[in-house]
Amino acid sequence: MRLHVPGRGFLLLFALLALLLPASRSSAQALLVVVEESLNGAALPPPLAAREGLAAALFDDGIVVLDLPGGSASDMDQLSRTAVSAGADYVLAVSVAYTATAGDQPVVNGHASYRLAGVPGGALLLQAAADATNKGREKMVDRTGLGEEIGQVIAGKAWDTLRRLAR
């Protein structure tokens, strides 16, 4: 029985891939994400819909999302220090407040404010707000779906900002 040994070309290609793949993974940007959500003034427990939409969209864009559950979106200095120790390149702090009418198919309005900062240093790169409603779509979109939509919008704005910085 004869043992087949791959040719030098195959081994060279394998070695080249082994060298390049780790480098491409290490160039991914890491983002520490903190999300707070409330409904009619009361804090919502995890899982948070905006965070889920945000993380899914950023993951699709190749950004490593580091979650800080229970963190406060208002203390950017502390978030920046945490991001440095976690190895993140940026901090995204999001606060979403929902109001909903009573009933089986409530009208839900969501207002999100968010900030994107670089680390270390905490230089503010983006500060904005997003509003959304399910009015007219109550049968199709509940609060969770609306939150995911808000998270996707914020992810798009953050990704646009990060792409501009990379140029």
Number of domains within the chain: 1
Q: Is 13 domain-assigned? A: no
Q: Is 4 domain-assigned? A: no
Q: Could you tell me which residue, 106 or 13, shows the higher pLDDT?
A: 106
Find the helix packing angle between 143-166 and 49-60, rounded to 10°: 40
Q: Is 8 domain-assigned? A: no
pLDDT digit string (tens) for 44-103? 999 999 999 999 999 998 999 999 988 888 888 899 999 999 999 999 999 999 999 999
Q: Is the pLDDT of residue 18 over 90?
A: no
pTM given for the model:
0.81
Which CATH number characterizes residue 88's domain?
3.40.50.10070
Q: Respond yes or no on whether the N-terminal peptide bond of residue 120 is cis (omega within 30° of 0).
A: yes
Q: Is 15 domain-assigned? A: no
Q: 138 lies in which domain range?
A: 28-166
Q: Is 146 domain-assigned? A: yes
pLDDT at position 7: 46
Q: Is the pLDDT of residue 27 over 70?
A: no
pLDDT at position 10: 32
Q: Is 21 domain-assigned? A: no
Q: Could you tell me which residue, 12 or 148, shows the higher pLDDT?
A: 148
Q: Is 11 domain-assigned? A: no
Q: Residue 108 in contact with residue 130, Cβ under 8 Å?
A: no
Q: Determine the Cα–Cα distance for residues 54 and 29; give it in Å rounded to an integer.
A: 15
Q: Is the pLDDT of residue 132 over 50?
A: yes
Q: Is 157 domain-assigned? A: yes
